[in-house]
């Protein structure tokens, strides 16, 4: 199909066509064009695409289409489709979108995730659901307590599979698979891919079709990437300067640790900037409220750990800032994928301290793109003006550079936790 194709060409039922029109979906994205027909014809699928490309609709729409062919029970609904997501925020977002898509077909959709009382979710599950969107840990708790079962499962989706491996969810996924009915149609979606994703697909997918709409580990072309050389102690001042003098509307700021998130947020507030924080120590109610305010535009600046790198969907978010560069290069791709979504332009700005320059090199190696390290923009006639001068690396001995890198906390203390590379093929074979 061509890029000018419409949803009417994808063999979706009349009810779904009308729903998409009401939601303002004019034409399918590349991933939707390629994935929807394959899912409708019953193929397992390994799909690689960046965040913000419409992946949820590419699996939710054909699954709803196929589930709607069977007459639903008026009372208890057996779980026929399961979507596994790495974070609470993403699980909520995917469930909300799926519910919107399936509302006219009376689809019952429920999200299940940790951080909230288990008994409340158990009570809601008593009515059953056609589609459940869940984080692996909470779902496994419910399965082991026999609150729900997956004996009638027809569809299983591993959404953001690379992130689930990042977060060390391989063991819960393996156990969930043991509870799942077979045969089933299995779909694996990932923004980035490496050997571990290929092995995961080999174990759980049956002769999958492969779809790839962007170069591996690439960043969106509409996102301009900047890297500014700063001292670690100057980062807060530089961030405040960029926000104020650049007259930024909204920005998502990624910071390495939870403690540092709170420190940056407090500093911005003292500077008179409307800022709030989100990280793993916040209650689910707080996280949902902050995300809601930021998504609606009520909140100007959201400071976050990588917990917000997935599941935050704002079509016109103009700025993403790497206050601290991630030590896992793949996380950079996920972070800046929050801007430049749905064809909009965006800016990704990284504040790079001397000890982080090695991280920048690793990111450049992953995305196959040079990010020129520049001085912080100067203010001229009320506008920020970029310098074309590059920053030369400091003349330090290799041992001292390594020592500087060691100033950062061990990787397992970050909320981004384990690297994909920590997932060994042997783990899947146990």
Task: Return the pLDDT at 404.
Answer: 39
Q: Which two tokens stand for residue 67?
A: 């589930």
Q: What is the DSSP letter of 180?
A: B
What is the gyration radius of the CA atoms in the chain, in angstroms?
Answer: 22
- Asked whether 54 and 31 are in contact (CB, 8 A), the reply is yes
Rounded Cα distance between 86 and 131, Å, is: 17
List, for residues 375-385, the tens digit of each pLDDT value: 998 877 667 77
- Same topology for domains 7-212 and 223-413, yes or no? yes
Which CATH code for domain 7-212? 3.40.50.300
Question: Mapping DSSP to helix (H, G, I), strand (E, B) and coil, where does residue 40 land?
Answer: helix
C-alpha dihedral sign at 412, 280, 168, 196: negative
Compute how many other C-beta atoms are within 10 angstroms of the C-beta atom of residue 267: 17
Cα–Cα distances in Å, from 83 out to 44, 91, 160, 178, 415? 14, 8, 10, 16, 23
Half-sphere exposure of 396 (CA within 13 A, CB side): 15
**Pairwise CA distance, residues 148 & 78, whole Å:** 9
> In the chain, where are the structural domains located?
7-212, 223-413
Task: Specify the length of the chain in residues.
Answer: 430
For 147-160, give the DSSP string: S--BTT--EEEETT
- pLDDT at position 296: 84
Residue 168 to residue 173: CA distance in whole angstroms:
10
Q: Record the pTM.
A: 0.66
Helix pair 14-22, 88-102: axis angle to 10 deg: 120
The four Cα atoms 238, 242, 245, 251 give a dihedral, to 10 degrees, of -140
pLDDT tens track for 247-302: 998 999 999 988 999 999 999 999 999 999 988 788 777 887 888 888 888 999 99
Query: In 3D, which of 6, 150, 1, 131 has the Cα closest to residue 63?
Result: 131
Which token pair is 199? 């092995």
Would you state the pLDDT for residue 269?
Answer: 96
User: What tokens were used for 116?
Assistant: 């909230």
The DSSP bridge pattern shows strands 209-212 and 319-322 to be: unpaired
> Taking a C-beta distance cutoff of 8 angstroms, is the pair 124, 117 a contact?
no
Which tokens belong to 221? 């072309």
Looking at the domain that runs over 223-413, which CATH code has it been given? 3.40.50.300
Q: For the chain, which residues score pLDDT lower than 70?
A: 1-4, 50-52, 72-74, 214-221, 307-315, 341-343, 381-382, 392-430
């Amino acid at each position: 199909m061509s890029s000018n194709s419409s949803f009417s060409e994808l063999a979706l039922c009349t009810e779904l066509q009308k729903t998409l029109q009401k939601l303002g979906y004019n034409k399918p994205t590349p991933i939707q064009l390629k994935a929807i027909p394959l899912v409708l014809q019953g193929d397992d699928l390994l799909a690689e695409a960046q965040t913000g490309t419409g992946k949820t609709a590419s699996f939710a729409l054909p699954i709803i289409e196929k589930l709607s062919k069977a007459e639903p029970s008026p009372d208890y609904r057996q779980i026929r489709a399961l979507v596994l997501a790495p974070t609470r925020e993403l699980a909520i977002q995917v469930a909300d979108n799926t519910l919107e898509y399936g509302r006219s077909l009376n689809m019952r959709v429920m999200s299940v995730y940790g951080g909230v009382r288990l008994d409340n979710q158990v009570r809601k599950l008593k009515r059953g659901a056609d589609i459940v969107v869940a984080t692996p840990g909470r779902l496994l708790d419910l399965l082991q307590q026999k609150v729900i079962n997956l004996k009638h499962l027809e569809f299983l989706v591993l959404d953001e599979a690379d992130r689930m491996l990042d977060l060390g969810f391989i063991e819960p996924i393996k156990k969930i698979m043991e509870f799942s009915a077979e045969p089933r149609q299995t779909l694996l979606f990932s923004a980035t891919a490496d050997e571990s994703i290929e092995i995961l697909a080999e174990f759980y997918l049956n002769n999958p079709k492969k779809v790839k709409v962007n170069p591996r580990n690439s960043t969106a072309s509409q996102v301009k990437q900047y890297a500014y050389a700063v001292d670690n102690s100057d980062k807060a001042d530089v961030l405040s300067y960029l926000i104020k003098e650049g007259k930024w509307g909204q920005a998502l700021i990624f910071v390495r640790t939870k403690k540092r998130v709170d420190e940056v947020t407090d500093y911005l507030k003292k500077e008179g900037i409307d800022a709030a924080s989100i990280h793993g120590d916040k209650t689910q109610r707080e996280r949902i409220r902050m995300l809601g305010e930021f998504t609606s535009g009520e909140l100007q600046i959201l400071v976050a750990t990588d917990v917000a790198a997935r599941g935050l969907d704002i079509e016109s978010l103009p700025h993403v800032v790497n206050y601290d560069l991630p030590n896992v290069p793949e996380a950079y791709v996920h972070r800046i994928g929050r801007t430049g979504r749905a064809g909009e332009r965006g800016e990704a700005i990284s504040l790079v301290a001397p000890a982080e320059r090695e991280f920048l090199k690793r990111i450049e190696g992953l995305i196959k793109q040079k990010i020129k390290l520049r001085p912080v923009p100067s203010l001229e006639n009320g506008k920020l003006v970029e310098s074309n001068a590059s920053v030369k690396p400091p003349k330090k001995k290799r041992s001292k550079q390594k020592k500087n890198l060691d100033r950062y906390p061990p990787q397992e203390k970050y909320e981004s936790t384990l690297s994909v590379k920590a997932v060994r093929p042997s783990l899947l074979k146990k």
